[in-house]
Amino acid sequence: MLAMEKDFDSKLRIQSNNTSSSSSSFSSSSSTSSNNGNVLRSKSFAFRAPQENFSIQDFELGKIYGVGSYSKVVRAKKKDTGSVFALKIMDKKFITKENKTAYVKLERIVLDQLDHPGVVKLYFTFQDTFSLYMALESCEGGELFDQITRKGRLSEDEACFYTAEVVDALEYIHNMGLIHRDIKPENLLLTAEGHIKIADFGSVKPTQDCRITVLPNASSDDKACTFVGTAAYVPPEVLNSSPATFGNDLWALGCTLYQMLSGTSPFKDASEWLIFQRIIARDIKFPSYFSDEARDLIDRLLDTDPCRRPGAGPDGYPSLKMHPFFKGIDWNNLRARTPPKLALEQVAHSEDGDHEIDNDSWNPSHIGDCSAIQNDGNLGVSQSTEPSGHITRLASIDSFDSKWQQFLDPDESVVMISMVKKLQKLTNKKVQLILTNKPKLIYVDPSKLVIKGNIIWSDNSNELSIQVTSPSHFKIYTPKKVMSFEDAKQRAWQWKKAIESLQNQ
């Protein structure tokens, strides 16, 4: 394990002239142009957000904000200062195995240099044996996706407010020569006051005229036409393997505005393949309650020619800002406006009238090096902390809490766990779905803390299989029955990958 850590650090370490410096100026010892463009590249520079010598033990961890393919974001409170951050925790082993090192380095460098009220701020980074950590600005208002879900759909005034703030931030990002490539309601976060912040720059792509300084080996290895992003928001030109442009983000903006006003994405369907077919065919239907202005703006943003989308053409962002949909928006004082009132999360009740327990927090003893702490307080490496097979350590701590420990055998650990709805003909019930490394797959009543079902495990895909029907819906097939589940955090594909990885180990 120690050898793996050293190998990873040799690939990932980004040295500044003074790692403890928080200077905002970048100190370049050598600067070159990219072979295929004018991306600024430097061998070293000083970070504004320093790399600290912190430990995960320095933080009190709270609810999970989000889950990605190789990372999770959790609310973290610094114990000595009380400062609250959104801590992005990334699995080193997975990053190395999947050749994601360049993406991680690029995200870190980009976030360090961006400075706009509509972009999440990076404060500092640190690492341990298993994980990399980015301490980001905590957006206490949650995801825009949650507001859409709780309200059903947004009013046009609300949608106009949020869209204008996204446009303002996107204009800045594009002027810096960056393509975000994953604009969607889940990546649009809200401050406690209700203002928009664009997050998750893990798919960012510098253009040839990028104004961001990039290290030589800190740029994604893919070509600009590589498929990245989320199925429902991907533009047709990317599906046709055309190079990425600023127009990609503007297509996703059109999809997001449609979702704000209707409650669902414009190309929603039962599978990714069907979604892609609808995108390519531009099969879009507008609800009758859309105003003419909203319909026209979405229609233009979803133009099949990326160069004709407002904001991407020769007239630039002024043409987008002047659209009648934004009538009344003062672009010079955008963030002085009072945001829409946030809809708070509703507390669910069980049939017995008790509050259901929505497990959204992490137990620090299951994170990073914490399970390897020796009695003398020093960090050690224990072979037992490394899960077997293809399941990464990070996956094994998803939303784990000590109250679920009673359902595990000695030395059994959780691979994946989340609160889901078990869909039935007459009723839908919330259950805690738990996958362990035994392997074992069970679902638990979260209020009574009793096992409601044990899905018989088999390594044979003919006896146990999982089908994803949408980002949030999946079905588990066994010889005797089919069970349908809904994951509100849209982790259906992660459930499929976790189960199949255990079957193939």
Residues classed as catalytic: 182
Give the whole-angstrom CA distance, residue 392 versus residue 69: 11
Give the whole-angstrom CA distance, residue 349 versus residue 339: 30
Residue owning tokens 């594009």: 174
CB-count burial class (<10 Å; 0-12, 13-18, 19+) for 424: exposed
Nearest CA among 242, 282, 448 for reference residue 350? 448
- Ordered DSSP codes for 173-210: HHHTTEE----SGGGEEE-TT--EEE---TT-EE-TT-
Q: Phi-psi category of 52—alpha, beta or left, where left has phi over 0 and alpha has psi -120 to 50?
A: beta
Judge if the upstream peptide bond of residue 439 is cis by omega within 30 degrees of 0: yes
Q: Tokens for 1?
A: 């394990």
Q: What are phi and psi for residue 111, nearest 5 degrees?
A: -60, -35
- Residue 423: strand pairing partners: 428, 484
Distances (CA, A) of 33 to 25, 41, 175, 214, 253: 20, 6, 19, 10, 31
Contact 370, 57 (CB under 8 A): yes
Element spanning 432, H or E: strand 428-436
CB atoms < 10 A from the CB of 379, how many?
14
Q: Tokens for 146?
A: 């949650």
Q: Quickly list H helices, 302-447.
A: 316-321
- Residue 40: strand pairing partners: 33
Contact 327, 424 (CB under 8 A): no
What is the residue type of 258?
Y
Q: Cα–Cα–Cα angle for 297, 300, 305, nearest 5°?
A: 160
Coil vs helix vs strand at 477? strand
- Residue 32: strand pairing partners: 41
What is the residue type of 76?
A
- Ordered DSSP codes for 265-305: -TT--SSHHHHHHHHHHT-----TTS-HHHHHHHHHHT-SS
Q: What are phi and psi for residue 244, nearest 5 degrees?
A: -70, 145
Residue owning tokens 């009072």: 338
CB atoms < 10 A from the CB of 118, how many?
21
